[in-house]
A and B are shown apart, each in its own frame.
Chain A
Amino acid sequence: EADIYQTPRYLVIGTGKKITLECSQTMGHDKMYWYQQDPGMELHLIHYSYGVNSTEKGDLSSESTVSRIRTEHFPLTLESARPSHTSQYLCASTDTRGRGTQYFGPGTRLLVL
């Protein structure tokens, strides 16, 4: 059973606010990912990390930033939320030694008013 957690699960916030979406995993995985997904649509990779102090932007342009100070923690920050940021944000991790299987957190549903 995968142990990857995201908080908050749901967030309603006003335009212009700064928010941080938390993601933690207890599996010791070195690779972690953030995806953005609208209902019924495909997953878009917005950030990924190969390990501590390593972060890269994904395929989808995003105004968010990430950090990876500890192996288990990969928070995503929006400095100034906008209605266009309304979406579901999914965090995932994978073990390099594995077959590339990604374990997903439950997701954060964000609504920006």
Chain B
Amino acid sequence: GQSLEQPSEVTAVEGAIVQINCTYQTSGFYGLSWYQQHDGGAPTFLSYNALDGLEETGRFSSFLSRSDSYGYLLLQELQMKDSASYFCAVDSGGYQKVTFGTGTKLQVIP
């Protein structure tokens, strides 16, 4: 079966850096995505890693290690508006069926 694990909650201080980890066990792997979801809203795409290494997009970076079945999302210079849930997701298989992780609720405090 498919499974992705993330910490359920993380709290960090405004202006700091936070890392949200994701470990996965899937029958196939094409890439790891990250999504942000504010309370009451829909998920929005943040980043995608198909190859090992770090991808940087502004304050957000995402890392992938395929050999370890592990990735993380790094948020720098945290802002209050970054308080949201963050989901990792794996594309597995030629039909791009996507499996989402359990989600990490990030709370940014002053």
Contacts and interface: CB of A to CB of B under 8 A. Distances in A.
Interface of A: 31, 33, 35, 39-43, 45, 48, 50, 59, 90, 92, 94, 96, 99-107
Nearest to A33: B98
Contacts, number: 61
Interface residues of B, number: 27
A82 to B, nearest CB: 24
Nearest to A105: B42
B48 A101 contact: yes
24 contacts: A39-B39, A42-B87, A42-B101, A43-B43, A43-B87, A43-B100, A45-B99, A59-B2, A92-B43, A99-B31, A99-B91, A100-B30, A100-B91, A100-B96, A101-B45, A102-B33, A102-B45, A102-B89, A104-B42, A104-B43, A104-B44, A106-B41, A107-B41, A107-B42
The 3 closest A-B CB pairs, nearest first, are A100-B91, A104-B42, A43-B100
Contacts of A92: 43
Nearest to B101: A42
The A interface is mostly helix, strand or loop, or mixed, namely loop
A100 B33 contact: yes
Contact of A42 (B45, B91, B103): B103
Given A90-B42, A101-B45, A101-B48, A45 B98 contact: yes
Given A45-B98, A94-B96, A101-B48, A40 B42 contact: no
A50 B97 CA distance: 9
A45 B98 CA distance: 8
Given A42-B103, A99-B50, A106 B42 contact: yes
B83 interface: no
Contacts of B65: none
Nearest to A54: B95
Nearest to B45: A101
Contacts of A103: 45
Given A40-B105, A48-B97, A102-B43, 15 more contacts: A40-B85, A41-B103, A42-B102, A42-B103, A43-B103, A45-B98, A50-B95, A59-B2, A92-B43, A94-B98, A99-B50, A99-B91, A100-B96, A102-B33, A106-B42
